[in-house]
Amino acid sequence: MNLLEKIRKFLHWETSPKPAITLNDELYAQLLPFRTPLILIQLLMLIGTLGYYYLENYSIMDAIFQAGYTFTTVGFGSMNEGSFSPEGQIFTVTLIILGFTTFTFAIGIVVEVVRKGQLSRILKERRMLYSIARLKKHYVVCYHNDYTLEVTKQLKENHIPFVVVDPREEIHEWAQEHNYTTYLRAEPHAELTMLKAHLASAKGLITLSSSMSDNIALIASVRLFEKEHFLPRPYYIISSAESVSDVEKLKKLGADTVISPTKLTAQRVTAMAARPDMENLLEEFLYKSDNPLDMEEIEVPKYSWAVLKKLKETHMREITNTSVVGITKKDGKFLAMPKGDVLITSECKLLVIGTQKDINVTKDLLRKRDKPKELKFV
C-alpha cells in the first residue's frame, strides 16, 4: 500500500466504484471524428508560430500569440502587423484561409455528431452505469408493467435500492414519470445487461413479465451467470406465473419464490369472506411504512451458539425485545407459535417480530459462535 492509499484510508476517502461496463469504447468511437480537426489545429498553430518566428523575427511567445489570433481570425491590432514583409503578408493570408477552413470543418463534425444523438445517449447511459455501480444489495426488477409499479413503490418506501430493466424505448419516459432513479434500456436476459445492472453486488432479481418464456429465459440466464462468474452466494429470484404447473416449472428452473396472482387473489377474497375484520391486517402490519413493527425470517447458521438450544434458553425476548412466532425447519416444515421447549436446529429459520433495529440485533446475536455475554445477566 503506497502513501496515497494510506492517506485515503486514514481520511476514509473512498473512490467511487467503477462499473464492469464503462462504455469507453463506444464513447471513443463517437469522439473519433474530432481527431482530424484537432490534429489540423495543432499543426497549423505550429506552422504559424514557426512562420512568424522566422519571417518577422518574433520571439517564441509573440509568434504563438500572433499565430493564435491570426489563425482564429479574431482580428488584428495587438502587434505590428502593419510592418509585415511581403512574405509575412502572404503567410498571414494563407493562415487565415486555412484557419477558417479548419474551423468550418470542425463545426460541421460537431453538428453531425450532435444531430445523430448517439454521443448524448452514451454519456447519459455512462452516468447511469456509474450510479448503478454504487448500489449494493439491490434488486434488479425486470420488465416494466403494473406489477413493477407496485413493487418499486414498496421498495422505495422500505429504502431498498433497485434497478429497473426493460428493452422498450419508452423506459426513459416511464422512468421519468415514475421516478426510477436507476434504470436500463436493455434485454434483461443478456449477460451484458447483467454486468451493467451490477448483478454481482445485487441481493436478487425480480421478473414479473406476463410472458412465461421471458421469465424462463431470465431465470436460466441468471443461474448460468452465477456459475460462470463463481459468485459466493446464489441470488434470490422472485417470479410470477398464472397456472400452478407454471409455478412448479419456474421453481425447478431455479426461482426461489414464484407468485401466482390468481392464487393470491383467491386467497385474499376467501380471507375477506371468512374474516371481514381482518381485511387490512397485512397492509397495516407489514406494508405500512410508518408502522414501527416489522417481521422477518432469520436463518440460524450452522456455527451459531444457539444451535441445539431450547428457545427459552436463548432469552431472545429479554435480550433483543423480539418475539419468535414461527420456525421453519430445514426440511421445510413450519411450526407456528413455538413453545419454549422447542429446539433450535442448524439452518432453521426463525420468524421474528419486532422493530427493525431489534431484528438486526437478533441477527447479530444468532451469528455469534460463542455464547453471548448478555446471557450471564439473564
Q: For the segment 266-282, what is each residue's pLDDT rounded down to a tens digit? A: 766 776 676 665 555 55
Residues 238/206, Cβ–Cβ less than 8 Å: yes
Element (H, E) at 311: helix 311-314
CA separation for the pair 57, 63 (Å, rounded): 9
Name the residue among 232, 237, 165, 231 with its Cα closest to residue 205.
237
How many other CB atoms are there within 10 angstroms of residue 257's CB atom? Answer: 14
Which pLDDT score, from 0 to 100, does residue 58 have?
Answer: 87
Residues 200/228, Cβ–Cβ less than 8 Å: no
Q: What is the largest CA-CA distance in the chain?
A: 109
Name the residue among 17, 19, 16, 15 with its Cα closest to residue 196.
19
Residue 117 φ/ψ, nearest 5 degrees: 80, 0
Whose cell is 426463525? That residue is 350
User: Cell numbers of 56, please?
Assistant: 518577422
User: Cell numbers of 257, please?
Assistant: 419464490
Which pLDDT score, from 0 to 100, does residue 142 have?
Answer: 93
Which pLDDT score, from 0 to 100, does residue 123 have?
Answer: 87
Report CA 246 to chain centroid distance, whole Å: 30
Which pLDDT score, from 0 to 100, does residue 92 have?
Answer: 85
Q: Above pLDDT 70, what percent of the chain?
A: 87
Q: Answer yes or no: pTM beyond 0.85.
A: no
Highest mean pLDDT among 13-22, 32-41, 65-74: 32-41
Phi-psi region of 85 (alpha: psi -120 to 50; beta: other; left: phi over 0): beta
pLDDT tens for 103-161 read: 888 888 888 887 887 888 888 889 999 999 989 889 999 999 988 898 999 898 888 89
Name the residue among 226, 116, 117, 121 with its Cα closest to residue 184.
121
- Which residues fall within 8 angstroms of residue 110, CB to CB, at 6 or more apart? 34
Across the range 51-68, mean pLDDT stands at: 87
Please give the span between the terminal C-alpha atoms of the chain, in angstroms, as a whole number. Answer: 46
Residue 350 φ/ψ, nearest 5 degrees: -100, 125
Angle 184-190-195 (CA atoms, 0-180°, nearest 5)?
60
- Which residues fall within 8 angstroms of residue 306, CB to CB, at 6 or more apart? 300, 314, 344, 365, 366
Per-residue pLDDT at 283 exceeds 60? no
Element (H, E) at 180: none
User: Cell numbers of 336, please?
Assistant: 407456528
